Amino acid sequence: MSRLHPCALSRFSGQVNEAGDPYVYPGTSILRNRLGITDAVFLDKQERSLVLRARRDIPRGSFDLSHLRAIHRHLFQDVYDWAGELRTVEISKGNQQFQFRKYILTGMADVHGRLVRSRFLEGLSSARFAEQASVIVGDINYIHPFREGNGRTQLQYLKQLAQGAGHSLDLRYIPASRWIEASISSHSADYGPRAAAIATALKPAQ
């Protein structure tokens, strides 16, 4: 896992917890895509390339669900027809169940409300920002609004949150393997590994 670039974090697709997955080609685990690719390795390569190019001009917003959806749409619009749309299936990874889809709206409203009350984490030291941002991103990961691409969307959201709070976040310093491990830990409300990963990539904004 450690050989993967951070932008490829969510290539570890969630498992659909119901009969049939409308997002994949019948009889396969390959996501339906706008490129018509039915080879998993080739799709992975092409998707990564397109998402890397799309990381310019990421949409800004108020860190609510609409903002998160806009980021996802921007990153994946050339790959999936459902870019920016909320998932319509229940998903899990391993033995970890993500938020039931009927609670996605209320879950993100709670996250946004906490950010508003905390003034979007402004005025915090790097260490404190990392601690509090790890909870926010960890909870967004649990909500998992999209069928695919959640990890990469969260990282761009986090980068903008850091910038707004007076910090610079260099995503190159967050290895894919470490972020995946942090996601697993935060699923059990252990946000320490994610806070540590964020802290290593932070520096005060110039």
Residue 140 lies in a domain: yes
Name the domain count of the chain: 1
The tokens describing 191, both together, are 């946000």
The 10s digit of each residue's pLDDT in 117-126 is: 999 999 999 9
Residue 14 pLDDT: 65
195 pLDDT above the threshold of 50: yes
Q: What is the DSSP letter of 92?
A: E
Residue 205 pLDDT: 55
Residue 18 lies in a domain: yes
CATH code, 189: 1.10.3290.10
Q: What is the pTM of this model?
A: 0.89
Residue 17 pLDDT: 59
Residue 96 lies in a domain: yes
Q: Tell me the pLDDT of the chain averaged across its residues.
A: 90
Residue 1 lies in a domain: no
Residue 178 lies in a domain: yes
Residue 192 lies in a domain: yes
The 10s digit of each residue's pLDDT in 160-193 is: 999 999 999 999 999 888 988 999 999 999 999 9
Range of the domain at 156: 6-204
Annotate 2-35 with three-state secondary structure. CCCCHHHHHHCCCEECCCCCCCECCCCCCECCCC
